[in-house]
Amino acid sequence: MDFLYNLKYEIFNLKNLDVAFKIQKQTWPDDPDYADLYNKVINSKDDNYFFLVYDKNILVGITGVDVYDKYPNTIWLDWFTILPEHRRKGYREKV
């Protein structure tokens, strides 16, 4: 599975939050949610992570995983999107 090693995951933080929001806005133009992204950064827990995803230093999308006490033994994929210009290139299988 060598293709996995090309992807780099950068954790959301206050410095890159605007980049994540631009991607979110591009994917969900009618429902961008800066407050949700901001809250995920400020209130992140050890078992919840959100990432900018790069392929060979080219930003291709965002993703994240959430774990909720209310739903034990479940992991939620959150804010998963690939930028339009990078779709249909097999990233669904890579991420």
Kindly report, residue by residue over 36-72, the tens digit of the pLDDT.
888 878 877 777 888 999 998 899 999 888 888 888 8
Q: Which domain holds residue 25?
A: 2-83
Q: Give pLDDT, residue 58.
A: 92
38 located within any domain: yes
94 located within any domain: no
Distances, alpha carbon 85 to alpha carbons 26, 27, 44, 51, 89, in Å:
11, 11, 30, 19, 9
91 located within any domain: no
What pTM does this model have? 0.78
Q: Count of domains in the chain?
A: 1
Place of tokens 């979110």: 24
21 located within any domain: yes
Q: Give pLDDT, residue 59.
A: 93
Place of tokens 């980049």: 19
CB neighbour list of residue 34: distance below 8 Å, 6 or more residues apart: 21, 24
CATH number, residue 51: 3.40.630.30
Q: Give pLDDT, residue 95.
A: 53
